[in-house]
């Protein structure tokens, strides 16, 4: 694991051209719809939104959307999509809570996909999400099950080689979340050293009491 940040600025413009990345976003969106009762009254925060691949799919079923990311280039791409589609109930926000740029607002649902493994302090991230939620609000986040580093290959900016679900459930409970549950959202097949391997991606949902 590399204890430095990955450069998302240089890849933002072509981020959506990766079919595998698009498929993960589609299947995580499907898993969220299956696990969370979306409502037109919901204010949603996509934490680590990238180009909005995940959350813009959910927007027709919710009230408003804020895409938050630490990459200005990613936010620029998402903002361009919002403008091009004439969307009036979505916006973007720069966040970098590890360096003092905290998200603002309060939300009924926080979604996040393939972000948690890029954040060094998972407990601090959960505390940040808890702070941002309205009472009764939920988080729904997807990431890799524990793996050996083969998923990314280049592990620059990867602080966790996936996660043990039991560990995350316990960490969420310590952070005062309730109704914690997990499911498998999708699985990614990759060739590693000449062999096909499967990398499951979980979805964990939890509620702020």
Instruction: Report the relative pairing of strands 178-192 and 195-207 from DSSP bridges.
Output: antiparallel
> Which of 3-7, 31-35, 94-98, 198-202 is the least confident region?
3-7
| CA pair distance 48, 136, nearest whole angstrom | 22
Least confident window among 75-79, 105-109, 150-154, 176-180: 150-154
pLDDT at residue 4 greater than cutoff 60: no
pLDDT at 6: 54
* Distance (Å, whole) CA 131 – CA 154: 33
Among residues 38, 36, 26, the alpha carbon closest in space to that of 206 is found at 36
pLDDT of the residue at 17: 85
CATH class of 9-207: alpha beta
Q: How confident is the model at residue 120 (pLDDT cuts 50, 70, 90)?
A: very high
CB 24 within 8 A of CB 184: no
Structure tokens at 201: 């991606």
Q: Which residues contact 146 (CB under 8 A, 6 or more apart)?
A: 161, 162, 163, 164
Asked whether 141 and 122 are in contact (CB, 8 A), the reply is no
| The pLDDT of residue 49 | 97
Mean pLDDT in residue range 165-178: 98
What is the pLDDT of the chain when averaged over all its residues? 93
CA atoms of 3 and 119, how far apart (whole Å): 10
| In the chain, domain spans | 9-207
Neighbours of 15 (CB within 10 A): 18
| 120-129 CB burial, b ≥16 within 10 A, e <16 | eebeebbebb
DSSP 63: S
């Amino acid at each position: 694991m590399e204890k430095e940040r990955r450069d998302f600025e240089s890849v933002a413009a072509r981020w959506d051209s990766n079919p595998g990345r698009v498929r993960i976003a589609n299947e995580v969106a499907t898993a969220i719809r299956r696990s969370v009762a979306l409502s037109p009254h919901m204010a949603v925060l996509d934490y680590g939104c990238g180009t909005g691949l995940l959350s813009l799919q959910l927007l027709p079923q919710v009230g408003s959307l804020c895409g938050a990311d630490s990459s200005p280039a990613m936010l620029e791409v998402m903002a361009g999509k919002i403008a091009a589609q004439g969307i009036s109930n979505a916006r973007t926000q720069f966040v970098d809570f590890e360096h003092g740029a905290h998200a603002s607002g309060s939300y009924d649902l926080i979604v996040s996909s393939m972000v948690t493994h890029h954040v060094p302090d998972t407990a601090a991230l959960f505390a940040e999400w808890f702070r941002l939620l309205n009472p009764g609000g939920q988080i729904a986040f997807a990431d890799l099950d524990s793996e050996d580093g083969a998923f990314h290959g280049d592990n620059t900016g990867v602080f966790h080689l996936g996660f043990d679900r039991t560990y995350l459930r316990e960490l969420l409970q310590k952070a005062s979340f309730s109704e914690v549950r997990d499911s498998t959202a999708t699985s990614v097949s990759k060739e590693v050293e000449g062999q096909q391997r499967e990398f499951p991606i979980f979805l964990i949902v939890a509620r702020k009491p």
